[in-house]
Structure 1
């Protein structure tokens, strides 16, 4: 597993807005969009390309285009807050949807939606989720993507807990772990006794969409 913590002043500034309990829902969504744009930009730095010839108004020159259409997969519901930024950078990407809900007593995830292309072999996949806490939801999603043939998966998160990163290392097959890249704005201190990340952001889904 390859971990990339994006160290940039603009990333740190947007992260501070997301952490602040005084940030309004509207400002939280805007800051998440800003931060997700920067994280996805970094996450796509190594996408494979192929050469093309471009004709300018004055001459022809060499250029590149992406070698394969990427797939972006937000983890519902909080991951939807990162999807517009990803699609703005990757407008031709396909979108998969993975829906999981967390039991607040057991901290286990229940799957309620899996809408994934049948064949992902040869296609870069970006899994979007603001929080990597226990790693349970991410593990389920990564195993599912691997079963569909994905071999180059990047998990894009705002913050991650050390426990979640460790769970990915130990819980994935060796081949899937070797192919996984995790891009985050910060690795936080730890999980608290109810499996929330400290210092974290609170519940990202609630802060984006409200409490139901």
Structure 2
């Protein structure tokens, strides 16, 4: 993506899985996040960066969710084996005994999954970060911004495989969201668009609305 807004083809690719199926979903309820395992000095910049992304989408944060308490849980780990040691984690994470060896074999540094409302919109999200390599070297604010963006929508698994979700602006030390993703995020949360869809035609509507933000 070179411009301030994605083309319809680029927007469609961001929500199209390896099997060729299109699936889009956004949050319909306010997001109530909680962070586990982060250092004390990183919590404030993490949450501030997360709030920046939610604000960019014109969505809302909440202290608690009336049904779930917290509907976005972010866990910081040093090793995937730590998940097996957390009480009741096997109830939270589907197929945990089979998942952990796979994550270890893939040398994965992050894993997330979602739960959905009856209409297909996002109800809750769970993010697990193994703080190693490049991930461990990211400033807390950059990490919070990147992870929040990846959790705001049901992106395709390879949506960010070839390019970071963040950009650098000359004269600023902190990162910002890529302008094309910011415009797409705002378009995705436009209330006139559906909260969930499996129709790739939606990509054209997303791209059109993203482009209107800069007209």
Both structures adopt the same fold (TM-score exceeding 0.5): no
Which structure is higher in strand share? Answer: 1
Return the structure number with greater relative CO, CA threshold 8 A, min gap 6: 2
